Every structure is written in structure tokens, then in C-alpha cells.
Structure 1
């Protein structure tokens, strides 16, 4: 059987749903605005996209996005909504992530037939798993690198995001590792700027992490932000590896699918994917793509971790969306024997000890990185107390003990609940 790519969309259109779906299929495969002589029936049968399914939804009176009027009509009283699934033969593009993006998320968004269009999900054939490296470490490998089993990795972000020198960064790291942190990451804004160059930062930070590992037998994972041009990323990755580091971070939207894939094929350590710019794709319910589709691209490209926001976060994303994203990261993409490509979801954005119980109850898993910046740095007892408060909150959550009850015998948690309520 010929392998096919499936994509599901939410659409809104002043045209009949079937007509709009056929426009989508033609535009993104063998068709154009008019039938061509060499667009034969055989060519369409072999290469045309197929409308697999149309699920009608409600209609609305006002278009969700600015739209051109229908020629010959003064106005439209109904904009039909629906979910549409299209499919393409793999022969059109081969197992290529950049060309997959052009196919499933290309000119569709500009078509005049639509007043809303959002990519909801992707189902890819196993040839993509054969062609792309996928995560090198993923869940199990990240736990092995850090020595942390059966609980979340407690992590943080270096704050202030920018402005610290390499030595000032190292001073913060010293407090964090002494306080028992598992995971530290650069902010997405701090990569290789002139005030805090990547190599100087690595040279200041890694001796502290290595010395801590020598004392305790456990290495704190630091995700150094190597985002940059291709050669710069590879060179800085090599510097991290030579210094004994175990993780590099990349802003995936900034570098692109081809850049992340190239870095992954070179990478010797865990690859931490930061989704800075995600709101461009996700914030509108009427345009862009869902995380369910989006994250599959980066899993194939090879990230080991990817951000999913956090409960009661500082951004606009609702809690249900955050939890659905985390569950998606832990769900296999392919049927055996193809690899599942599961990745570690990273909770962050305004996280403190107060969200731990709700997070655990919602996701029913400890396979995650739980990052708190201010929730650690602004703890009234200091950085070490902030780390301990998060660990205590997750202990309570897993044991099914109310945070308030657990806090009676755990001072750091009590301070966090008071400070961040």
C-alpha cells in the first residue's frame, strides 16, 4: 500500500465545505486556480491530495479573519465551519520535514476561500521515522544522564535573562547546585551575546558542575543555549562537549527544522528544544497550528525535551492546552517497530511549588522537567530553599498528601505556599 501523509484542519469558509476542501487539496498538490491540460486524470490519481473526511460544525455570521468578498455577492450571511482531513502520497515530497511544512502548512493560510484555517494534527508514515534521527536521549536517556529516576527533574532558568556576566552566571549556578537542583537552562534570550559569550559562560559554569559531580556522583544538567548560525551552533556544541557538558539548548523556531536536524545529527548530548515564538502559531484559534501537529515535527528533527508551558502560567495558554501538550509528548508517534520518539515535556512559565499537585493530578506522570525561575530565585529562604520547596511539593503530590499538610513539617514548602499563593 502506498504510504500517505494525513493532516486534519479546522476551517471556516463562506463556500460549501466540500468545495473549500477541494480547493485546499488542489492548491497543495497537483492543482491550481484552473485545470491544466497536463493535469491528467492519471497524474491526479497518483499525486493529487485526497479529501478524506469532512466533519461539519456550526456556522457563524461574521468571518473570524479578514476576508475578501465573494465575487458577485454583496455580502455573506453564513460562514461554515468544519474539520477537514486531507491526505497526500509520500511520492509527492518524500520523507522531508521542510517539504512537509510546505505541503501541510504552506499557502493554505492565504487562500481567499478561508476566513479561518488551523492545522490540528498530523499522521506521518514510518518512512519519516527511517529518514530522521528523532530524539537521541528522550525520557530514559535524560534520566540516565542526570541520575534522576521516578520523579520530575527540578529545574530552573538563569535569571535575570540577560545582563549577567559569565562569572555572575557561575555564581548563580554555584548556589543552585549546592541547593540540589537537577536541571539548569539558559534563557532563550541569552545565547552568544557579547556581554556573556557562550564559550566564556561554559568555561565559568562547567568547573562548578564537574566539581559537584565529583563530590556527589550526580551531574547537574545545564542546557547551554547554542542558538545561532549553523557553523556557530556546531562549534559551540563541541565546546560544551569538550567541557563535560550534557545538554545544549536551541530555540527551534529561530533555527528551523533543517537547522535543528543538522544540529541533532552532530549532537553528542541531550538537545533541549525551546519553542520561543510558539504564540505565532498557537494563540489564535482561527489560524496557525496546534501543538499536537507542531511538536511532531520537532520530535522527528531530534529534540529530547520540548517546552509545553505550565499551569496558571504567565502567558495566555489555558491549563487544558498545557496538559494536552504534555500528554502528547509522552504518546508514541508510530506503531512498533518504528521508534515512538517520546520526548520529555518541560513545564515552565510562572511555576512555583503551588502548581505541583495540580500538575501531577492532571498528567498522572513524573516524566517531565519542572522549571521555576522566580519560584526558586525569589523564594524567601533563598535559592536552595526554593529548590527544596519544589522537591517537597512534588513529594507531596506523588504521595497524595495535601500541600498544606505536607508543609507543616517542611519549612521551605510552607514559605513557598505563603510567598506565592
Structure 2
């Protein structure tokens, strides 16, 4: 659970640092760089101004030391023991420095400090914000409750997939695949982040063709699969594409966070009448080095505040470099309330190399069925076809909910048995 703010009118951020300098001295350099100070005293930086506007070092806890610096280019003092100390530092800023502005918040808590020479490691691990941010930014519009209502899925995870191949399919190919997925009982379908509005598969034509299929199945079954159309693009294009999805009866849109940026996400949320499925492509560059960048709980808080309803958290036993314990911590962090009066929880989306085999572990780790799982190859590469792939994924999650191991459950479920033979 996130600790409360010491002062409700100040912003707080926690960092993991590594430095050859005295850790308190290094922390004070951080505070100065990110508020009123610079490398030398300047006229006008009076004690009164510092008292009013300077960042403060609220807490510092030294952990351990290492013999070699993690990152290149770090400086060291002329005298010292030759070790690089690691510590947790909490800085705070008066909200009067920037106001409740998300873009300027990023510049404040994650600006030039990553380049400071006294540090051989610096990572933002958590943050806490004054209520003024909750008053300005509405956060997720739908969350889990609204997503379930639109998708017609209750009491279990939403079973989903990604249109694969990522690119190369025509509009007609895409609609045909969606037809098979809907026939197989899929809950959730999303565009790959590489598929947006290219000449080979234009957005407008794709939406109209796909929604004609989805609406036909919804009329037949009474349940409309949720499709997250990737509208990542310029702001005017995103607004127009959102309006088309809405007009065609669509129930979700998708945006790549690092591509549209904070200002783009904020404006998309203000315009949107649909859940926003937030993809984190490019996230690895911000987090893969453990002593640099951001932790997911801190990073995702900003996007939740900006309005993301669904957020990717990778998946267990994934095809990338992230360990399972990090994936689990990321997923659980999305349920931590941002503010007491405005929790702004987001739905964790599990993806990346997901098959029938991760269902039980994911459900046990998260402790709740309030999630979306998206399996690309884990559905469309099923040996008996796409519909069987959907059935097998649903059966795997049914087994997980019932507490039955997969081989036992597969004895009476041929689609699951076939999936276990290849995944």
C-alpha cells in the first residue's frame, strides 16, 4: 500500500540511487537540480525563495555498497573509500512550483536528474500526489466495472487475443479472422501496436469491416466482443478515429503511451466515450536496467491519472526479459488507489507469449479474476484452428478457476488437450 503524503500540498517521489559521494550530499544535489538550484549560487536565490520553492530531502536510507559503478560516466569525489553506495531517497516539492500539471510533473520528478554526474544509478520507484491532481484529471473512465459491462463478461477474466500476423493482413483478412474469433466465443480482440492506419490496412475500412462482423455476432448471441482498435496517431486523427469506432458500435480504443505522449493521452481521455486500452511498447527502454529509469508502479500511476482504463503488464513466463515477480508486482500495483476519494484503478492486461499454461499461475498470483489476458499465437496458432484456440484458452481459465490441473481438465476437453500438445 502506498504511504500517505507527509504534507498534502507537496509532491513526493522515491528514488533508488547509487553514488560514490556521500548519499545525503548526492540527494541534495538532486533536490537542487530539480527545483531552485543550479551548479553555482545565482543572484535571486534567496533563503526566502529556497524556503518557498526548493525541493526537500524528506528521507534517506542507505542500503549497501558495490565495488563498481552500474552506469558509465559517473563522477566521484577526490577522496573516498572507493565504494559506490546505494540508498533510497524521498524528495518532495511544493505543488506551487508547477501546479497540477502532468507534463510538468514529469519534468520535475524525472527530468535532468538521470544525467547528473554524481550518480552511477538513479531510478524513480514510486510517487505520491496532492489531491489537486485528482481534481484536475479524471483518471480511468470505465475501469474493470465498465469493461465488464460493455463486454458482457462477469466473474472471470476477459479472454482475448491479438490480431496476428502483426501487419500484412488486408482489411478483408482481418475481418475474416475476427469472424472466426467471434464464432469461437472470444471476449476481447486487439490490434497489434504495429497496426494502426497504414495504406495496406486503413483504419477506417478496417473498423467498418470488423464492426460489421462483430455486430452480426452480437445480434446472434446477445454478447458483443470488445475490440480495441489502435488509433495511435496525431491528435486530430485520434479524435476522428475514436468517433468512427463509436459510430460503428465499437466499445474500445487503443493507444501506445510512449508514442502519443502524456499530453496526447490527456486529450484523448477528455474526448473519449470509450475505454482506453493503453499499450506500453517502448517501456523496456525505461526500465530494463534496474538502476536506471522508472519502476512500473510509479510510471503507471501517471497514465492511470491521465485516463488509461487497461494497462499492459507483460505476462508470466513471457517472451521478454522481465521476471515473473516483477510482472506480478506491476499487475497488483494497478489496484492500489491513487487517492482516497478517487482510486483510479486500471485493469491489468497480461500478454507476451501467453498460452493455456499460464492461466493458473496468473490467477493465483493476482488473486483476482479482474484482468484481461491476450494470447496471440496462443490462440491463432492452435493446431485445430482459431476457434479451437479460443476454446482452449477459455477452458484453461475455467480449470484455473476450478482449481483443477490442466492435464486432468484436458481429459474431457479436446481443444485444451490439443493445445497442451504444442504449447
What TM-score, normalized by structure 1, do the two folds share?
Answer: 0.97
In structure 2, the residue matched to 1:354 is 357
Distance 2:197 2:81 in 1: 52
State whether structure 2 residue 251 is matched by structure 1 residue 246: yes
Distance 1:90 1:302 in 2: 21
Alignment of 1:108-119 (within 5 A): 108-119=113-124
Distance 2:387 2:246 in 1: 27
Give the superposition deviation at 1:388: 1.0
Give the superposition deviation at 1:71: 6.4
Distance 1:72 1:134 in 2: 48
Q: Secondary structure at the match of 1:81?
A: strand
Alignment of 1:116-131 (within 5 A): 116-131=121-136
Equivalent residue for 2:195, pick from 166, 190, 213: 190
For 1:82-120, what per-residue CA distance to the aligned partner results, in whole angstroms no more than 9, with x for missing partners?
Answer: 110101111111111100000000000000010000000
Give the superposition deviation at 1:409: 1.1
The 1:69/1:46 distance shift into structure 2, 3 A limit, reads: closer
With 245-254 and 405-414 compared, the bigger mean Cα shift is at: 405-414
Give the superposition deviation at 1:41: 1.4
Alignment of 1:382-421 (within 5 A): 382-420=385-423
With 388-397 and 63-72 compared, the bigger mean Cα shift is at: 63-72
Distance 1:72 1:176 in 2: 65
Distance 2:283 2:354 in 1: 18
Distance 1:189 1:182 in 2: 22
In structure 2, the residue matched to 1:343 is 346
State whether structure 2 residue 103 is matched by structure 1 residue 98: yes
Distance 2:76 2:165 in 1: 52
State whether structure 2 residue 66 is matched by structure 1 residue 60: yes
Distance 2:47 2:291 in 1: 34
In structure 2, the residue matched to 1:320 is 325
Distance 1:38 1:2 in 2: 28
Equivalent residue for 1:51, pick from 54, 57, 66: 57
Any unmatched runs of 5+ in structure 2? 1-6
Distance 1:243 1:84 in 2: 50
Distance 1:413 1:332 in 2: 37
Alignment of 1:32-51 (within 5 A): 32-51=38-57
Distance 2:32 2:56 in 1: 9
Distance 2:223 2:371 in 1: 18
In structure 1, the residue matched to 2:3 is none
State whether structure 2 residue 58 is matched by structure 1 residue 84: no
Are 1:2 and 1:90, in contact at CA under 8 Å, matched by a contact in 2?
A: no
Q: Secondary structure at the match of 1:173?
A: helix
State whether structure 2 residue 298 is matched by structure 1 residue 304: no
Distance 2:327 2:368 in 1: 14
Distance 2:64 2:412 in 1: 54
For 1:39-95, what per-residue CA distance to the aligned partner results, in whole angstroms no more than 9, with x for missing partners?
Answer: 11111111111101111011111110002444656x971111111010111111111
Give the superposition deviation at 1:382: 1.1
Q: Secondary structure at the match of 2:223?
A: coil
User: Following superposition, which runs of at least 4 residues in structure 1 exceed 6 angstroms of deviation?
Assistant: none
Are 1:2 and 1:89, in contact at CA under 8 Å, matched by a contact in 2?
A: no
Are 2:54 and 2:93, in contact at CA under 8 Å, matched by a contact in 1?
A: yes
Name the Cα RMSD after superposition.
Answer: 1.2
**How many residues of Structure 1 are paired with residues of Structure 2 in the alignment?**
417
For 1:300-343, what per-residue CA distance to the aligned partner results, in whole angstroms no more than 9, with x for missing partners?
Answer: 110110100000000000000001111011221111xx211011
Are 1:135 and 1:343, in contact at CA under 8 Å, matched by a contact in 2?
A: yes
Any unmatched runs of 5+ in structure 1? none
For 1:250-295, what per-residue CA distance to the aligned partner results, in whole angstroms no more than 9, with x for missing partners?
Answer: 0011000100110110001111000000001110101100001000
Distance 1:331 1:394 in 2: 25
Q: Secondary structure at the match of 1:196?
A: coil
